[in-house]
Amino acid sequence: MSESASQLATLLVSCPDRKGLVAALAQLLYGHGANIVDADQHTDQTAGMFFQRIRFDLRELHTDRVGLERGIADVAGRFEMTFRLAYESERKRVALFVSKYDHCLYDLLLRHRAGELACDIALVVSNHPELGYVAAQFQVPFHVFAIDKQNKSEQERAQWALLDAERVDLIVLARYMQILSAEFAERYATRIINIHHSFLPAFVGSKPYHRAYERGVKLIGATAHYATGDLDEGPIIEQDVIRASHRDSIDDLVRKGRDLEKVALARAVKWHVEDRVLVYGNKTVVFE
Amino acid sequence: MSESASQLATLLVSCPDRKGLVAALAQLLYGHGANIVDADQHTDQTAGMFFQRIRFDLRELHTDRVGLERGIADVAGRFEMTFRLAYESERKRVALFVSKYDHCLYDLLLRHRAGELACDIALVVSNHPELGYVAAQFQVPFHVFAIDKQNKSEQERAQWALLDAERVDLIVLARYMQILSAEFAERYATRIINIHHSFLPAFVGSKPYHRAYERGVKLIGATAHYATGDLDEGPIIEQDVIRASHRDSIDDLVRKGRDLEKVALARAVKWHVEDRVLVYGNKTVVFE
Amino acid sequence: MSESASQLATLLVSCPDRKGLVAALAQLLYGHGANIVDADQHTDQTAGMFFQRIRFDLRELHTDRVGLERGIADVAGRFEMTFRLAYESERKRVALFVSKYDHCLYDLLLRHRAGELACDIALVVSNHPELGYVAAQFQVPFHVFAIDKQNKSEQERAQWALLDAERVDLIVLARYMQILSAEFAERYATRIINIHHSFLPAFVGSKPYHRAYERGVKLIGATAHYATGDLDEGPIIEQDVIRASHRDSIDDLVRKGRDLEKVALARAVKWHVEDRVLVYGNKTVVFE
Amino acid sequence: MSESASQLATLLVSCPDRKGLVAALAQLLYGHGANIVDADQHTDQTAGMFFQRIRFDLRELHTDRVGLERGIADVAGRFEMTFRLAYESERKRVALFVSKYDHCLYDLLLRHRAGELACDIALVVSNHPELGYVAAQFQVPFHVFAIDKQNKSEQERAQWALLDAERVDLIVLARYMQILSAEFAERYATRIINIHHSFLPAFVGSKPYHRAYERGVKLIGATAHYATGDLDEGPIIEQDVIRASHRDSIDDLVRKGRDLEKVALARAVKWHVEDRVLVYGNKTVVFE
């Protein structure tokens, strides 16, 4: 992270659409000496909702962060805004949840090391010990929570304690083969990203590649979405597909699908940690 | 169609997989003086089924067509083959079924005129009179069968009579907004191609663009498939997708989707009339 | 066009990047009662340039258009902005230039009729008479200017007179097989969109499909760009590609390419008439 | 590798197109008891050339491999065939050449470990020591050959000695930042696969992402090709692209491009080691 990056902040806003919104925020930031370097907005006409992402430079701030935050809160109050303010100097802390498949884990760790993901990988959590050596290669702490029907609730609580202790902001289910409880999903609402190996809502549930094979589709896909209590029904962040044909066995679909899973999940994580994603209803606004 | 094209034939074969199949057919054709110009084959290991498409040149045939057909039938008998032999000089006759949307109709008529589709467009059938002028512009007969609950069965019978009189080989439902009876679908099994405006099996049924919008998918699609009695469940021939985002209204999805519908349907029709598609179970083998 | 659409305007701005730009424009529009419905911006850090597209609603304007335009001009002067203000009630007038290929012509006319292109198709110009019947089917005036080496300069002048008389805002070279003079390109700078049948800068010049075939590429493409005096070197607006293989003959590439040419050109025209494209240097900013 | 896989062989054939070719090969294999499990063929009508890939099962061979090979050589002689016969039990030995970028190296090693690439990774060669730890993590020998203008010829000879000693069948230039001599390319003709980070023939040469950025293209690409003495001019095996926009800095293009480089190179390597690629002239036939 360069010094200038450490002086940038991102404001994410959603509220009922009203006149003067854009001017009010722009004026406020200008008044405090915050220089807008990027702004994107969207109005959902049907829902009557307004969404905005503003990225600005703090280096010539006339006031301090406290003053700026108070100013934003004032405008937010006036326009019934929900907002989130993130400083790039405070990198999000991410926990990767995995089981035995290593492709998404490797992919995220390598992208992180290449500087593609502006976050810290705080830890890897698994319900199996197999992938510990991968985490070790990247010097990331690895924690195993073996889970069965009896201990699930208890183990989840232990996970929460760990996540709290590690101040985790985002959980990435990188082919984690264990269903989270509704309570878990609720606790980390819009802070858990899952990768499903189909172009949802096709093939909701398990064994999507098998079912894609049986249905004879000519495309297979992958879907990155926020996890909710309703399995595979959470807000979609990113999807991708690749062509399939009668020549593809289930194994071929699995192999082709791995590439989709990796890129769809990586994009979703990248966008989330860069504060590009807003959730409303069961949908997302992604300011790419 | 060049003279040489008129001397080409295509053999489509499916049968239980067995040793010596390829040699037997190749030897037979060679023995009759038929020169193979293209061959493609596929073995579904799971189903234990063998499929082959052989395109050959008849110009130096030592025997005549009757002799050749008898030879093929002999080999077919020996290997329990289902086969279909098509001569390119006998172009398939196609009926386009439409309602009020004109984009697929125009697209198919223009591609046909450009020489992309090796078939004859015998007639256009509609349940509404609106698109008659389009058919007229391309000098294709246009027939209206207004359909309601009372007269549906009777009108379908009238359609069959017309299709028989016109010796129609293939029916293309080019956004035909009227559900065919199961009897109709059965009568023309694997000879009716429909275009569905979603990446099936997502959004089976009606209003898929609305439902895609509500679900917040990041891709929309279109699926060309053979129509069966089970709505939207028939064997898939081709699918295509395009990216969507939070910026797309339902109207935008409809607009983007038109392009997908056109190309997916056109490819499926092209492949069918070139005898590149084999159906087995509820799937297709497409020898592109 | 709905009544509300007729009350919308779009402001396109480019200028050296400076603090307070966004606030100044937002404040100005708010002050005049113009309600921002959509805004998108981009800063090219390398070039130090700022670009913005603001779409706003005029229905509750406190002042009149003259007052608003004066206000914008003031801000523009202060920030050394180049700007363009377009009212949606004043639809751009487009001339389609064609030769003998009909696919892009039909495609644009059909999309226009379907309401995809928010412009008026004022006339079709050709150097050949063949496609007159297509223009006639859509009730668009058709003008032939036969061009050879001797009369080229004179005929171009005659074309300019016609374009002036018809108040044409945009010229679309829809597979027009005649090179415009540098003077022509200069006269309509950033107001001529051409479609080139390759993924430029590969295969600059003529016969790109033949050269793609010879080079054995596995993708073919099409590029929509603004025409300049340097052939095929103008700012790129949109590109698209499709897979090719050893099975594709040159004719197959031509056929597949037609679909690319249509969609790439149509998107470029759509974006231009919706004032989504800004040119700087030899590049474009496209606010999709 | 399952036992049955070890009993499969692949025959790749190219020759002037002639009648009876397909029958002759099919008959020969049948006669020896070799069961064809997959066959694909292609005729380049323009070049008058025939290409075929036949994969067959040796488990019920009536004769032995020597007899089979003599039979194939006889047919080959009769039809002026060039042919290559590969037994799946004899896995190709691959050398990965790298410099400092690790993404293609990791990608190939991980795919290999996941069973996607049916070859042995015999060694990693580099002109820099940096990536030794990656090779070590996968237990692959790592050899450094520091190269400068003075020692280039000598070091290449040393590399050849090593490649010979390791019986290497294929060299993969996985972002190897050192140009091979023409002699090197010639020595391993059609046995060196390179990845170029552009959609060739656009941006031949160095710094393609910078030049893509300057040209303002809306797509960036990657090309896997056989290396020849003419830099970036060798036969193309695979290409892929991804959309770019004005928002993408050069760093963004580099980041997006890495994903393309990985998949295009991995597919090319996979197809080569599965004997799916035939070179003729400066083009490839890829039997996917």
Instruction: Tell me the residue length of chain D.
Output: 288
Q: Which residues of A touch C26 (CB under 8 A)?
A: 22-23, 26-27
pLDDT (average), residues D12-23: 91
- Residue D3 makes CB contacts below 8 A (sequence gap 6+) with none
Q: Chain D interface residues facing chain C, Cβ-Cβ under 8 Å? A: 42, 44-46, 199-203, 215-219, 221, 235-241, 245-247, 249, 281-286, 288
Is B258 close to C137, i.e. CB distance below 8 A? Answer: no
* Residue at token pair 């066009």: C1
Helix (H) or strand (E) holding C283: strand C283-286
pLDDT above 70 coverage of chain D, percent:
98
Is C41 close to A37, i.e. CB distance below 8 A? Answer: no
CA distance C141 to C124: 6
Residue B45: other Cβ atoms inside 10 A:
9
Find out whether B275 and B84 touch, Cβ atoms under 8 Å: yes
Find out whether A172 and A270 touch, Cβ atoms under 8 Å: no
Q: Which residues of D touch A116 (CB under 8 A)?
A: 255
For residue D6, pLDDT beyond 80: no
Q: What is the dihedral of CA A249, A254, A258, A259, to 10 degrees?
A: 20
Q: pLDDT-derived band of residue A2, with 50, 70 and 90 as boundaries?
A: very low
Intra-chain end-to-end CA distance of chain C, in Å: 20
For residue C261, pLDDT beyond 70: yes
Is C116 close to B255, i.e. CB distance below 8 A? Answer: yes
Give the C-alpha distances (Å, rounded to integers) separating D280 from B217, D13, D38: 44, 11, 22
Is C19 close to A41, i.e. CB distance below 8 A? Answer: no
Residue C35 has its nearest CB partner, among A19, A29, A30, at A19
Residue A106 has its nearest CB partner, among D110, D263, D288, at D110
For residue A92, pLDDT beyond 50: yes
The pLDDT of residue C228 is 95
- Residue A157 makes CB contacts below 8 A (sequence gap 6+) with none
Q: pLDDT-derived band of residue A1, with 50, 70 and 90 as boundaries?
A: very low
CA distance B181 to B229: 7
| Test the D interface: residue of A38, A107, A270 with most D CBs within 10 Å | A107
Is B41 close to D43, i.e. CB distance below 8 A? Answer: no
CA distance C7 to C12: 17
DSSP 3-state of A145: coil
Q: Per the omega criterion (within 30 degrees of 0), is the bond before D201 cis? A: yes
* Residue at token pair 């099919």: D26
Q: Which residues of B touch A41 (CB under 8 A)?
A: none
Give the C-alpha distances (Å, rounded to integers) separating D106 from B223, C251, D12, D119, D237: 37, 40, 30, 16, 21
Q: Chain D interface residues facing chain A, Cβ-Cβ under 8 Å? A: 102-103, 106, 110, 114, 116, 137, 247, 255, 258-259, 263, 288
DSSP 3-state of C37: strand
Beta strand spans in B106-248 (E): 119-126, 142-144, 170-173, 192-196, 219-226, 236-243
| Test the C interface: residue of B55, B104, B116, B267 with most C CBs within 10 Å | B116
Question: pTM for the complete prediction?
Answer: 0.96
CA distance B57 to B65: 12
CA distance B228 to B180: 9
DSSP H helices, C79-226, are 103-113, 132-137, 152-165, 182-187, 208-215
pLDDT (average), residues B191-214: 96
Q: pLDDT-derived band of residue D1, with 50, 70 and 90 as boundaries?
A: very low
Find out whether C88 and C1 touch, Cβ atoms under 8 Å: yes
Q: Chain C interface residues facing chain B, Cβ-Cβ under 8 Å? A: 102-103, 106, 110, 114, 116, 137, 247, 255, 258-259, 263, 288
Question: What subunits touch chain B, counting only 3 or more CB pairs under 8 A?
Answer: A, C, D
- C21 CB burial (10 A radius; 0-12, 13-18, 19+): buried
The pLDDT of residue B37 is 86
Name the pairing type of β-strands B277-280 and C92-98.
unpaired
For residue B45, pLDDT beyond 70: yes
Q: pLDDT-derived band of residue A276, with 50, 70 and 90 as boundaries?
A: very high
Q: Per the omega criterion (within 30 degrees of 0), is the bond before A129 cis? A: no
Is B23 close to D19, i.e. CB distance below 8 A? Answer: no
At position B157, the amino acid (one-letter code) is R
For residue C64, pLDDT beyond 70: yes
**Closest residue of chain A to C28, computed from CA coordinates:** A23
Q: Which of the following is catalytic: A169, A232, A240, A248? A: A232
Q: Which residues of C touch D281 (CB under 8 A)?
A: 216
Q: pLDDT-derived band of residue A45, with 50, 70 and 90 as boundaries?
A: confident
* Residue at token pair 């002042």: C63
How many Cα neighbours within 13 Å face the side chain of D148?
Answer: 1
D232 a catalytic residue: yes
CA distance B19 to D57: 10
CA distance B139 to B161: 22
For residue D127, pLDDT beyond 90: yes
pLDDT in tens, C151-187: 999 999 999 999 999 999 999 999 999 999 999 999 9
* Residue at token pair 């959004």: B203
CA distance A183 to A84: 24
pLDDT (average), residues D106-131: 98
- Residue D152 makes CB contacts below 8 A (sequence gap 6+) with D181
Per DSSP, D7 falls in state G
Handedness of CA D195, D196, D199, D204 (dihedral sign): negative
Q: Chain A interface residues facing chain C, Cβ-Cβ under 8 Å? A: 19-24, 26-27, 29-31, 35-43, 60
pLDDT in tens, B221-273: 999 999 998 889 999 999 999 999 999 999 999 999 999 999 999 999 999 99
Find out whether B22 and B31 touch, Cβ atoms under 8 Å: no
Nearest to D107 by CA among A224, A244, A259: A259
Q: Which residues of B touch C102 (CB under 8 A)?
A: 110
pLDDT (average), residues C231-246: 96
Q: Which residues of A touch C42 (CB under 8 A)?
A: 38
Supply φ then ψ for residue D227, to 5 degrees.
-80, 140
Question: What subunits touch chain C, counting only 3 or more CB pairs under 8 A?
Answer: A, B, D
Nearest to B221 by CA among B193, B242, B194: B242
